[in-house]
Each structure stands twice: as structure tokens, then as C-alpha cells.
Amino acid sequence: MKSEKIMKKLLVFILFTLFAAPVYPQEASISAYLKRIEAGERDAVKTETAQLIKSNPTDPSYIFLSAVLMEDAEEAVKNFTFILQNYPKSNYADAAVYRLYLYFYAIGSYMKAEGFAKKLRSDYPSSSYIKMLAPQKDLSTGTKEESPKEETVKKEEIKKNSELFTIQVGAFTSDKNAADLKRRFESEKFTVEIGEKTVGGTELKIVYAGKYRTKSEAEANLPVIQRLFDIEGRVVQLHK
């Protein structure tokens, strides 16, 4: 009788453990698609997998594949973030962290990039992406705080280079999307340029709006841009 009670308790414990554990769907294998994307077959893969992605909205592997195929880098960031928040133990969670690291490093947001680098090392210590991170000293250089002296623009510097700051308003993998945003800003009489930055084999088109002599002048115009275009821009320094 006693052994029967013990067995019942054990059965209840096992059932409770099974139902209490986080459950992830059986993930699809997308490695072949990812290899084809790396080989330059992005458009073909996008066409072939459109229905699969649509039919499997809760599969973290397809969510990851969808993000990789997105032309708007900022939209892709939302998908990678969604994977981390909802499927932190899925097959491509570490890859999502690495993609977020790449994005923020590429656009010059070094503090955020460093945060994702730390997360990759701490939460996914066996990830193959760790060896692909930039050396930590490079990140610390990028996040170095400017002293008041460095932030002050001297009169001689203004004369030599009258436009030292701009506002980054978008990052895309698509030339068309970058050009479309450029036209939107030009319609409002903004000076706009498109720059390029390649990180980890991914080329981003960075859209910059406006040119300003000082950082404080650019920061004063940032809320105007955010209001007009509903875009979360950031002030960056021009390098000439």
C-alpha cells in the first residue's frame, strides 16, 4: 500500500515536471536555406519559403529565416528580439543574438553591441559565433565617453570642416528601401546621404539626414525628425 502511494506521488511529480517545463515546437530545419542565402540566392529562397514562413508563425526557426530575408534591417531586429524574448533556447537563439550584435555594431551603437556580445558569451557559451565577435578592446574604444573638451567644437575646426554631425535615420539591406527613405526626407528639404557598412558579410545601407556644425545642434533637430517621420534616429559624427 505504501509503495503504491509512493508510485502515485512519483507519477504526479513526473507529470507536473513535464507540463511545467517550457515547450518549444518541433523546429524546422532551415540550414539548407541559410547556406543558399550565403551563396547569393536570397531572392529565390525568399520566394520559395514565403508560404512556409506564413504557415508557421510560431516556429522560431522560420521566424529567424524571415528576419534574415528582410530587407529592412530595423524590422529584422524586431524579429531577432522576439526570438530572444519568446524562444531563448531555440536552435537559432544564439544566431539571433549575434545578428543583433552585428546590427548595433554596424550602426555605431557600441554600448548596445557590447551588451549583446556579453549576452552571447554568458547565455550561449558554446556558440560558434563567440569567436566572430570583435575584440573587447575595440568595443570599449567605440563606447568611450567624450570629455567636455572633445565635445566642444573649436572655431578653427568649424571653419575647416563646417559640417561635423548628422542624424542616422535608417539601416537597410535593400538599395530600394534606402532610396525610398532618402526621397521621403528630400521631399521635406533635408540634405540626405546613403553610406555603406559591411559587417560579418552583411552589407547595410545607412541613411543619414541633415548636416550640423555641433553635436548639440544635431540633437536639437533630432526630435523634429522623429516627429515628422516617426523614426527613431540617432546623432552620429561625420568622418571625412
Note the pLDDT tens digit of each residue in 45-70.
999 999 999 999 999 999 999 999 98
Give the per-residue pLDDT at 228. Answer: 85
Give the per-residue pLDDT at 70. Answer: 87
Give the per-residue pLDDT at 62. Answer: 93
Domain boundaries, the chain: 24-142, 148-237
Question: Distances in Å between the alpha carbon of 133 and those of 119, 136, 192, 201?
Answer: 12, 8, 31, 13
CA 58 – CA 240 distance, rounded (Å) = 46
Q: Which range, 87-91, 179-183, 216-220, is most confident?
A: 87-91
List 72's β-bridge partners, or say none. Answer: 172
CA 94 – CA 27 distance, rounded (Å) = 15
Grid coordinates in use for 58? 510560431
Query: What is the share, in percent, of the chain residues with pLDDT greater than 90?
Result: 29
**Rounded mean pLDDT of the chain?**
77
E strand or H helix that includes residue 126: none
| Per-residue pLDDT band at 155 (split at 50, 70, 90) | very low
Give the per-residue pLDDT at 115. Answer: 93
| Per-residue pLDDT band at 156 (split at 50, 70, 90) | very low
**CATH fold match for the domains 24-142 and 148-237:** no
Mean pLDDT of 112-138: 86
Specify the CATH number for 148-237; select among 3.40.50.1000, 3.30.465.10, 3.40.50.300, 3.30.70.1070.
Answer: 3.30.70.1070
Question: Is residue 224 exposed (0-12), middle (13-18) or buried (19+ Cβ within 10 Å)?
Answer: middle
| Per-residue pLDDT band at 162 (split at 50, 70, 90) | low
Architecture of domain 24-142: Alpha Horseshoe (1.25)
CA 219 – CA 230 distance, rounded (Å) = 16
Work out the angle at residue 152's Cα, subtended by the Cα atoms of residues 110 and 214, and round it to the nearest 5 degrees.
75
Annotate 187-229 with DSSP letters as a single string.
Answer: TTT--EEEEEEEETTEEEEEEEEEEESSHHHHHHHHHHHHHHH
Query: What is the share, in percent, of the chain residues with pLDDT greater than 70?
Result: 74
Grid coordinates in use for 102? 552585428
CB atoms within 10 A of CB 85: 8
Mean pLDDT of 221-240: 82
Note the pLDDT tens digit of each residue in 70-101.
888 888 899 999 999 999 999 999 999 998 98
